Structure 1
Amino acid sequence: MTYELPPAWDGRVNSLGFAKPPAETRVVAAMSGGVDSSVVAAMLKAQGYDVIGITLQLYDHGAAIEKKGACCAGQDIHDARNVSDQIGIPHYVLDYESKFREQVMEDFADTYLAGSTPIPCIRCNQTVKFSDLLKTARDLGADCLATGHYIRRTDGEDGPELHRAADASRDQSYFLFATTAEQLDYLRFPLGDLPKTQVRELADQFNLPVASKPDSQDICFVPEGSYANVVEKLRPGAGRGGEIVHLDGRVLGEHNGVIHYTIGQRRGLGVATGDPLYVVKIDAPKRRVIVGPREALMTSGLLLEEPNWIGDGTLEAAANSDAPVLVRVRSTRPPVPARIGWSDGVPAIWFDDPEEGVARGQAAVLYDAAGSTRILGGGFILKTIPADDRVVAA
């Protein structure tokens, strides 16, 4: 099937919302070398925009080439260049290796060492992509920065709003909660209204060399999903062992480093009591992994750090009014009902019903509770409030 592209110019606004023809609208397309960002660049070029493709080199070429199924690797840079050549746009590769290591990889290692569970993809969007790359786009005189994320930007009464993607199975709102109002004003997400199947067919329609390329898997700088190996490499000696302790105080065994464990983990504990055991807390300073029954994973609330609010009004006003929201605490879980409040002067989220396996370091993303698809912001989980009084707040 052949798809009709959005009209390029209707005399009032173009498809990206600017009141001028596409030919007078410069767009920097962030090109990772994958299908999604390649289709964005091809779509915009086909509509007549002045498109510049930029690819970020985020880590060592040699190591990256051997890492399959990851974004921003050596092969991906080659693919982005090929796509740019085919559709006829200038393409630049920017060396962001040192920034990526400092702002994303180092943070990843330190968060694990602190007994928390990091989300480097959020840090990458928050820092390297939507800060450094956005600045570069402005320096190039671009009117906006377009990406291949599955999320929607709409113009509301009080300015741009961020909404979940039309294709719920591809929605990336969990990883983009930290987008600020200023950044949102400059960003565009052309794929937000499209299903992945249509994006693949557009790639065929444009005859892109990456049309059949698999989607990125896992974290780009983590070979074979081995988080602990990466942390050990960045922080030699991080794998120091300690005790595995039951909630009732019994020492059940030993482990070879807290970096090997996450909240809610059941497999690979190496200890047994006859009943199923789960990691319910990680005490990094004491190098202890605390385990217990599944009900000990239940959480009644959490505290936020680095909060970002892009809803109406202010976060303070919403918290003071005990405003209802929907909150997502894992990228793979649906949002659940909760309320915003305060705890010791820190923004807090209180679940209507206890939520299982909430982990420090993960994100709590807030959505409108009134049935819309709007994203209100969120923050990183600083502390969890257990529903089970046997567990001390982590």
Structure 2
Amino acid sequence: MRVVAAMSGGVDSAVAAGRMLDAGHEVVGVHLALSQSAATLRESARGCCTIEDAGDARRVADVLGIPFYVWDMAARFKHDVMEDFVAEYSAGRTPNPCLRCNEKIKFSALLDKAVALGFDAVATGHYAQVVERADGGRELHRAVDSAKDQSYVLGVLDADQLARAFFPLGDTTKPDIRAEAKERGFYVASKPDSHDICFIANGDTKGWLTSRLGEQPGEIVDAASGEVVGSHQGAYAYTVGQRRGLGLDRSHMDGDPRYVVGVDAASNRVMIGTSDLLGVNAIRGDHARWCGPPPEGVVEVGAQVRAHGEEVPAQAWASGDDVEVRLSGRIRGVAPGQSVVLYDGTRVVGSASIAKSWLER
């Protein structure tokens, strides 16, 4: 097969490209330029897509002896990921940009361009596994390394995208991947992993949002009493479950911690309360994406609402683009805009964007 190996400049995508070549595929390395003003050097483990990263990817391609190209997708990334990120926070929702990037960039824009150029598939360094069924269909499963499993952020892939996706690292642990990279002579073998939001290199999400949305002063309100207990400079900077950075005067409160329990974008209010107001056991999701046929009727699943969160037994049923999920127990800090990803054992069933969550007694 002719395969585009998406090469970020990190160790995982480097080994993924090498493994695809070892498997006998015709491999071309592609680095995605996602920033319209890329930094020259990486300053920390945060961020990505610097000129230094592109150079690291090119050096790996040279070691492997494969062609290498840089594809400019900065405008598409800005529209589909960064502007979406701002719009979601502005609406009082908490998005996961990694899911959006996988859905809109790596397995849409990149895959579409690759297919248009005559390639058969895209390979990435994600930690997940693709299992082929006897009937030729493909399933997405969790990685062997549970600490690095990235199946959650791939839950947005549909059956057609999954049919053209390879994840060569899913059967290996991260320490073994680094050891393999060293054996292959890759300069990036000990390069730190990227983490957090790639386009906010300093990790200051609040500051980044404020620079784009401006200060929007509003009230912090006690959800139980309706009393105004504080003020903020922008409700968009808060998310359900948040405890730190509330800036409350605790002198008139009891000793229980306070958390964000709701963000009302329309009134620019942040609602706070005690932990008992955070627990939910019912979720309604929209924008459903299925990694195969949609479930029929009520099905038993595992539900996960964060990239490294705990999977909770649940029942789910689909209705058009919507999904209803009933959890076996309460979970805390479920925010609109997050994604709920559904599992059947290790298999990813699909995902949806959380529109509402509540406690059903």
For residue 101 of structure 1, give the secondary structure of its aligned residue in structure 2: helix
Question: What is the rounded CA distance, in whole Å, between the counterparts of 1:119 and 1:347 in structure 2?
Answer: 18
Aligned to 2:284: 303
Confirm or deny: 8 A CA contact 2:34 2:77 kept in the other structure: yes
Question: What is the rounded CA distance, in whole Å, between the counterparts of 1:67 and 1:305 in structure 2?
Answer: 37
Deviation (angstroms), 1:175: 0.4
Confirm or deny: 8 A CA contact 1:34 1:71 kept in the other structure: no
Question: What is the rounded CA distance, in whole Å, between the counterparts of 2:69 and 2:319 in structure 1?
Answer: 47
Confirm or deny: 8 A CA contact 1:328 1:335 kept in the other structure: yes
Q: Say whether 1:43 aligns with 2:19.
A: yes
Question: What is the rounded CA distance, in whole Å, between the counterparts of 1:215 and 1:342 in structure 2?
Answer: 37
Q: What CA deviation, in whole Å up to 9, does each residue of 1:109-133 have, x standing for no partner?
A: 0111111111111100000110011
Greater relative CO, 1 or 2 (CA 8 Å, sep 6+): 2
Once superposed, what is the RMSD of the aligned Cα atoms?
A: 1.8
Confirm or deny: 8 A CA contact 2:316 2:326 kept in the other structure: yes
Aligned to 1:292: 273
1:132-151 aligned at under 5 Å gives the runs: 132-151=109-128
Confirm or deny: 8 A CA contact 2:42 2:48 kept in the other structure: no
Q: Say whether 1:250 aligns with 2:240.
A: no
Question: What is the rounded CA distance, in whole Å, between the counterparts of 2:23 and 2:107 in structure 1?
Answer: 24
Q: Say whether 1:106 aligns with 2:83.
A: yes
Which amino acid counterpart does residue 225 of structure 1 have in structure 2? G
Which amino acid counterpart does residue 316 of structure 2 have in structure 1? I
Question: What is the rounded CA distance, in whole Å, between the counterparts of 1:299 and 1:280 in structure 2?
Answer: 11
Deviation (angstroms), 1:64: 6.1
Aligned to 1:360: 336
Confirm or deny: 8 A CA contact 2:235 2:269 kept in the other structure: yes
Confirm or deny: 8 A CA contact 1:58 1:95 kept in the other structure: yes
Deviation (angstroms), 1:346: 3.8
Aligned to 1:278: 259
Aligned to 2:160: 182
Confirm or deny: 8 A CA contact 1:61 1:73 kept in the other structure: no
Aligned to 1:115: 92
Aligned to 1:204: 182
For residue 188 of structure 2, give the secondary structure of its aligned residue in structure 1: coil
1:347-386 aligned at under 5 Å gives the runs: 347-368=323-344, 372-386=345-359
Aligned to 2:298: 322
For residue 197 of structure 1, give the secondary structure of its aligned residue in structure 2: helix
Question: What is the rounded CA distance, in whole Å, between the counterparts of 1:151 and 1:62 in structure 2?
Answer: 29
Aligned to 1:17: none
1:276–1:81: structure 2 CA closer, same or farther, 3 Å change rule?
Answer: same
Confirm or deny: 8 A CA contact 1:61 1:74 kept in the other structure: no
Spell out structure 1 runs of 4+ moving beyond 6 A.
Answer: 342-345
Instruction: Work out the number of aligned pairs and report it.
Output: 354
Could you tell me the TM-score, scaled by structure 2's length?
Answer: 0.93
Aligned to 1:8: none
Aligned to 1:269: 246
1:344–1:83: structure 2 CA closer, same or farther, 3 Å change rule?
Answer: closer
Q: Which runs of 5+ in 2 are unaligned?
A: none
Question: What is the rounded CA distance, in whole Å, between the counterparts of 2:165 and 2:156 in structure 1?
Answer: 13
Confirm or deny: 8 A CA contact 1:29 1:146 kept in the other structure: yes
Which of 341, 346, 356 is the aligned partner of 2:317?
A: 341
Aligned to 1:167: 145
Deviation (angstroms), 1:63: 3.5
Q: What CA deviation, in whole Å up to 9, does each residue of 1:80-102 have, x standing for no partner?
A: 01111122111000111110000
Question: What is the rounded CA distance, in whole Å, between the counterparts of 1:206 and 1:142 in structure 2?
Answer: 26
Aligned to 1:76: 53
Which amino acid counterpart does residue 90 of structure 2 have in structure 1? L
Aligned to 1:191: 169
Confirm or deny: 8 A CA contact 1:277 1:292 kept in the other structure: yes
Question: What is the rounded CA distance, in whole Å, between the counterparts of 1:67 and 1:119 in structure 2?
Answer: 23
Could you tell me the TM-score, scaled by structure 1's length?
Answer: 0.86
Confirm or deny: 8 A CA contact 1:147 1:188 kept in the other structure: yes
Confirm or deny: 8 A CA contact 1:106 1:234 kept in the other structure: no
Deviation (angstroms), 1:141: 1.9
Question: What is the rounded CA distance, in whole Å, between the counterparts of 1:351 and 1:126 in structure 2?
Answer: 26
Question: What is the rounded CA distance, in whole Å, between the counterparts of 1:119 and 1:168 in structure 2?
Answer: 20
Which amino acid counterpart does residue 203 of structure 1 have in structure 2? A
For residue 65 of structure 1, give the secondary structure of its aligned residue in structure 2: coil
Deviation (angstroms), 1:334: 1.6
